[in-house]
Amino acid sequence: MKIPRSFLGIFLSVVLVLIIFKSVNAQSLNQSDTTLPDNQEIINNSDVTGPDPQEIPNNTDGDGIEVDRDVFDKSFESAPVEQAVEQFEELQAVEIGERFGTSFYGDIASTKEIADTLRNLCQQTGQNAAILYVTSLQDKLDLILILPSGAPQSSASNSKCLNSASANLEPIRKNIPEAKHNLVQKTAQDFRQKITNFRNEKNNYLKSSQQLYQWIVAPFETTLQANKINTVIFSMDSGLRSLPIAALHDGKQFIIEKYSVALIPSFSLTDTRFAPIAQSQVLAVGVSESTEEQVPLPFAGVEISTLTNKIWQGQSQSLLNTASTIENLKSVSSKQRFGIIHLATHGQFNAGELSKSYIQLWNEKIRLNQLRGLSQELKWSAEPKVEMLVLSACTTALGNDEAELGFAGLAVQAGVKTALGSLWYVSDEGSLALMTKFYDQLKAKSLRSLALREAQLAMLKGEVRIEDGKLRLGENNLVSLPAEINAPDNLSLSHPYYWSAFTVVGNWN
């Protein structure tokens, strides 16, 4: 059952230190009391066609809530699994809300509702997904896995989704006592540092990658296989949201060789409704030349051209370089609805004030604290909602909780179902390769996490590479690279540095 809102108020009064009582008042408002624009509420996920998350702006003057993590950990550790999931969901809503200056309200999805939604989505998409909650307590790692609920076999149902092993199965909770908080954080930091500095030793990230896999994924390996799970959705605790999940390694292979993966801030903050995204119109915005002291991204022009003129031909529009202004973005958005907004330009998720994080356009930056207002003005969250916002050249202050929250909460803040971005700036040619293959697969398969997985696997296997000055996407699929951008004659993109930074955040379908 769902936690009643009154119980959440009691829970928060114990777990959270309220700095200003005004914050509690803001959260207690109902929709009829609220006159603010584009309010959002936490989704009731028992209905995959339900509303998207709602929020009340409330922290613009510095009021807020501070989490007493010691108290939360004790309450979470002793709570039954159903209540623990709801507490973790609430914690994520509070932390994301505090980062973006909002307060979410509404029902938290129960574990049964989550399991039922996973089943319903699988029947629509054929992707059999499980949710894995990863909570880093001081003395252990606490893991909770939610599988799709079982259902009677019927000729109209997708047989992939009706696994008897998962029928009436309760959430599975496991504790990893050797994975103490400080050790997990140190291992995660080592993993991120070594995978992004691979030129010194190409495989020195493997030790920490395999250790994290053994702590987080391996405890459920048998269960995942028995239930034919092909997609694992991670809801991560603080300090783990910037892990390049795709590069977790089991000692023999990477996780993406077995599963599609994605990151969600929480299930209740995710708009899980499925829509065939291959039918969407694309607005591709890019900056390939140097502007406002940013280094040029010469391959971004090729990325925009290939996307709009080849892969998404007839369903796209582009704004490149001097055309990539907020004024033009507003103008084209007022004339046509776009399901995908693709930004091939610099983006930064930094610590500190939201204004320090930005997306670069030609003549100005979209600051993260401005993104929600711009989204409302452009009606990205209005129906039909923008399905996906893509940042192909962004970077995050890895290991910094504020920067991680900015990245993990991007889809919620932008008012879109899904965000796809990179945790670090890969390279201009690496981003071109990944994005081009991703859209090629997305057009064919119309599933976000699956398309990303296929693109990452193609790079890992060497099928996507730069060869003889051309981008090779397959044996008979070549993209010419202009001579003036000085493309390398040959470049292998198989190291996870090039492909594991890219992460689906939010709706994985």
CA-to-CA separations, 274 to 125, 444, 508, in angstroms, rounded: 8, 16, 9
Check pLDDT > 60 for residue 242.
Answer: yes
pLDDT digits (tens, 9 = 90+) for 386-415: 999 999 999 999 989 999 999 999 999 999
SS3 at position 421: strand
Check pLDDT > 90 for residue 489.
Answer: no
Cα dihedral value 253, 254, 258, 259, nearest 10: 170
- Give the C-alpha separation, 76 to 91, whole Å: 10
SS3 at position 340: strand
Give me the residue label for tokens 């914690």: 91
How would you class 346 by CB atoms within 10 Å of its CB: exposed for 0-12, middle for 13-18, buried for 19 or more?
A: buried
* DSSP tag of 180: -
Give me the residue label for tokens 């064919």: 444
The overall pTM is greater than 0.75: yes
Nearest to 289 by CA among 15, 485, 128: 485
pLDDT digits (tens, 9 = 90+) for 476-485: 899 999 888 8
- Give the C-alpha separation, 445 to 441, whole Å: 6
Domains of the chain in start order, with CATH, are: 5-104 (no CATH), 122-263 (3.30.420), 277-506 (3.40.50)
| Mean pLDDT rounded to a whole number for the chain | 86
The predicted structure's pLDDT at residue 163: 54
Mean predicted confidence (pLDDT) in 446-452:
97
Neighbour-count burial for 440-471, b at 16+ CB within 10 Å, e otherwise: bbbbebbbbbbbbbbbbbbbbeebbbbeebeb
pLDDT digits (tens, 9 = 90+) for 11-30: 444 444 333 223 333 333 33
pLDDT digits (tens, 9 = 90+) for 344-371: 999 999 999 999 999 999 999 999 999 9
The angle, 0 to 180 degrees and rounded to 10, between the axes of the packed helices 428-445 and 448-460 is 130
